Amino acid sequence: MAPNSAFAKLAELGKKLEALEHAQSMLSVDEAVMMPSGGGEKRADAMSMLAGMYHEMATAPEVGDWLAAAAEEPLDDMQQAAIREQARVYTNMTCLSADFVRRQVSARVRSEQLWRELRAKDDWAGFLPAFEGIVAIAREEAGLRSAALGLEPYDAMMEQYDPGNRAADIAPVFARLKTFLKDFIPAVVDRQAAERAKRPVKPLNAPFPIDKQKALGLAVMEAIGFDFEHGRLDVSHHPFCGGVPTDVRMTTRYTTGDFLSSLMGIIHETGHGLYEQGLPKEWSNFAIGRARGMSIHESQSLFMEKQIGRSAEFWEWAMPLVGQHLGPAAIAGWDIEDMLTHVHEVRTGLIRVDADEATYPLHVILRFEIEKGLIDGSIAPKDVPGEWNARMSEYLGLTTLDNYKDGPMQDVHWPSGAFGYFPSYTLGAMIAAQLWASLEKDHPSARDDVRAGRFVEINNWRRDKIWSQASRYSTPELLVKATGEKLNAQYFEDHLKRRYLA
């Protein structure tokens, strides 16, 4: 590579951007884990200035020139792919005018603040004007993105989170899954009720001291492959996985009354952490070296939590570990079935973030259908509560009539202007199931590995198929490369049937 080539200039710029991102990531972690409250104002100022510097450097006009010039330079396949991905990111970052972004930020801040205040009061009517404003801005954004990318407006919004995701591909898969779940969920709920009548649920023998829960969590993280030379576990109010690939900062929160909630959260975040730790180091200063997007990231955490962490095989290995760290009294006299009763409970409810893996997709599909309608104009903001209630009644048999805070006002996504994000959650869950099925085809002994607490082969397969691929392919392409076929709801349905109705 010639030192004055456009590619070399992009690589050098990438190092600066990587350093700024490093600072932003670590400052965010510090804010959640360490910062005293009085440090918040200056921290916000610093974060905003760093974000401004980042945006200015990443979207400078000469970067566009370098990208065009690099495309003409003699590059190998990987370098060409790196330039294509970098150009895609550049287009996504530059397709909104500075003036539009200013209007958007101001509308979002106002709408999110209002939402926080009015959600607590269940005041939809008071929130509606701001919501109409934010939907209008989102439609304008979708139009601008659509024009720049040559995509349908809603697809152009999803493109920010999952490159290559198209509503035309997703809608039929979601429709099929919806049909399946509408019958599946009542069957599971009935069956679990019958089982509970025969065999009462054993309560957790709380309290569980926090230092012991922490030791248990660390032992599980270590066993499933988290590299503590390049990461750590701390405590924050909202658990997350942050930091940088060489220094992954995970958090959890503990309650002494229940060790399962923290432990399952740790397993989930470890899934994110393993993905970050497995990214190719040599491309860290290019977009192509980053994690692929929200669906794939979520697939990695759900693979760890749902496919593995809630499986019977996992608990064959993990139950002795629980006794070892929390003391024999913690789950004295439990067998696997007692534990599975806890981690497999299916229950319909109004709140997405509290949902189990069987009901969760219906929350997402409902939002996908409504937000697609909001962006294409077929649903008006004022009609959202009605649309919501109709779907909630049909999909989960629950009503949100006159209950806005547990209906369309429950999530921060729309009030903060994030349209096109919701599908990623359920796509991630489906991709996780499809990856597991594919892994089991390649490694028929995968379940035995889990039973024995052996995760090396499983992680090697994931590293090969997903982690090391970073952003080389679009989301759908990556799935095809990894599993040999495009998104197929069958795998997720089979997973659910095996776990809940076998």
Q: Which of 8, 46, 219, 312 binds a copy of itself (CB under 8 A)?
A: 46
What are the distances in angstroms from CA 381 to CA 14, 110, 117, 352, 385? 41, 17, 19, 20, 9
User: Applying CB under 8 A, does 102 fall inside the site for a copy of itself?
Assistant: no
Closest approach, Cβ 289 to a copy of itself, in A, equals 12
Q: Which amino acid is at 169?
A: D
**Which tokens sit at 112?**
């999110």
* CB-based burial, 316-352: b 16+ in 10 Å, e otherwise: bbbbebbbebbeeebbeebeeebbebbbbebebebeb
Residue whose CB is less far from a copy of itself, 11 or 71 = 11
Contact letters for a copy of itself, residues 257-296 (x by CB under 8 A): ---------------------------x------------
**Structural contact between residues 428 and 302, judged by C-beta atoms closer than 8 angstroms:** yes
Q: Which stretch binds a copy of itself (CB under 8 A): 136-144, 222-230, 330-338, 429-437?
A: 222-230
Concatenate the DSSP letters of all residues of 394-427 into one string: HHHS---TT--TTTTTS-STTTTT--S-THHHHH
**Structural contact between residues 360 and 350, judged by C-beta atoms closer than 8 angstroms:** no
**Structural contact between residues 330 and 323, judged by C-beta atoms closer than 8 angstroms:** yes
User: Applying CB under 8 A, does 105 fall inside the site for a copy of itself?
Assistant: no
Residue whose CB is less far from a copy of itself, 211 or 394 = 211
What are the distances in angstroms from CA 386 to CA 370, 394, 420? 11, 12, 21
Q: By rule CB under 8 A, what count of residues binds a copy of itself? A: 38
User: Applying CB under 8 A, does 483 fall inside the site for a copy of itself?
Assistant: no
User: Applying CB under 8 A, does 23 fall inside the site for a copy of itself?
Assistant: yes
Q: Which of 5, 8, 11, 27 binds a copy of itself (CB under 8 A)?
A: 27
Find, among 413, 486, 414, 395, the residue nearest to 166 by Cα. 486
**Which tokens sit at 215?**
């030791």
Residue whose CB is less far from a copy of itself, 59 or 205 = 59
Task: Pick the catalytic residue from 85, 141, 269, 369.
Answer: 269
Closest approach, Cβ 280 to a copy of itself, in A, equals 14
Closest approach, Cβ 273 to a copy of itself, in A, equals 12
User: Applying CB under 8 A, does 442 fall inside the site for a copy of itself?
Assistant: no
Q: What is the DSSP letter of 307?
A: I
Is residue 222 annotated as a catalytic residue, yes or no?
Answer: no
Catalogue the active-site residues.
Answer: 269
Question: Which residues are near a copy of itself by CB under 8 A?
Answer: 15-16, 18-20, 22-23, 26-27, 30, 34-39, 41-43, 45-50, 53, 227-232, 234, 243-244, 246-247, 284
